[in-house]
Amino acid sequence: MIIPHDTYGPEYLLEVYDAETNMRGFLVIDNTALGPGKGGIRMTPNITLEEVFMLARTMTWKNALADLPFGGAKAGIVFDPSKSKKEEKKALVQAFSKALKPFVPKKYIAGPDMNSGEEEMQWFAEANGNWRSATGKPANLCMLVMGKKGSKQQCGIPHEFGSTGFGVAHATQVAAKHAGISLAGARVAVEGFGNVGEFTCKYLTEMGVLLVATSDMQGAVYNENGLDFKKLLAFKKQGTVTLYEDAKKLSHEEIFELPVDILIPAAIPNVITEKNYKNVQAKLIIEAANVPISDDIEGKLAKRGILVVPDIIVNAGGVISSYAEYRGYNPKDMFSMVKSKIVKNTKAILESAKREGISPRASAMKIAEERVEQAMKTRK
């Protein structure tokens, strides 16, 4: 694949290597008109510069939609979790951080992504030597910031606090109202009971929905009368939600075809496709995962009268949390900011889409492009 260049970027395409650790990594800084590029570090055995670019471009739009002073970027390290020990992983992360010092944190700020979490962000920040080089650090990793009014404690805010799922729940609440669906008692299926899906289930059940199905790598569970969140959590700690006793066991694919009001893909990409989109019974789809549905299939679902709220607005809770940490806020202020921005931006996109007769994704992209283009003009 030849990486495309357009008026937005990319500004930097970097491939770095460290002979001592055999670290091979990539960084794409797509656009910094709104601020330093912000995006996580993905660690997989098959990561490529092309994949990192596509993710960086998505971050350009996501940060613009979240109305944050961040540009778009993404990083990747070639890493096989099945063949590496913790010490080896730490060495790779630290070598990567040191290699990126000329760009971090002025042009790029790291964050968690696939196979990287709060511990990896601590390693990255320590190797870089700058507190602001990464967000998503452990909550007990703190520093004192000296100001005019004395010292202030500033601590990490890990994504493990559930900021993304919290944002997904509030986006769902807004979208349900827009679609004329009463959230109280609404039948909901959440694909994926990982960090995003787990907290999505938690906050939505607290809002009164009837969670009827969820899944993990071992399969899905379904009970038309509802699943108990605390029991799901307990079974997940034992290994898998499929241990849930009072539920029907389904294949992972069957969760997308259940008779529900709201369907929330919250795990892997490309799960609703040409093969199964005609069998979707939900009235509303909330894209908590990245790219769970292609643009083409989103259009076909819309023709069936199904409202699809796009990932670039729904799952922005993580990057909003990153900004809160970057500014030195506490977790309470972070959650308040996530709710405020997610609610405001979801409303704006859905209302604009309805008013202009376009899809929510088209509405989101229009707003994001306008914000980036305006920033580019101002920068010049």
Residues labelled as active-site residues: 74
Q: How many residues does the chain have?
A: 380
Amino acid at 198: E
Beta strand 248-250 pairing with 71-78: unpaired
User: DSSP 3-state helix, strand, coil percentages of the chain (rounded to 5)?
Assistant: 45, 20, 35
**What is the arrangement of strands in the sheet containing 262-265, beginning at the earlier edge strand?**
248-250, 219-222, 210-216, 187-191, 262-265, 284-286, 307-309
Which 3 state secondary structure label does DSSP give 284?
strand
Amino acid at 108: Y
Task: Give the H/E segment covering residue 38.
Answer: strand 37-38
Match 């650090």 to its residue by tokens: 137
What are residue 335's phi and psi, to 5 degrees? Answer: -65, -35
Instruction: Count CA atoms closer than 13 A to 375's CA, side-chain side.
Output: 22
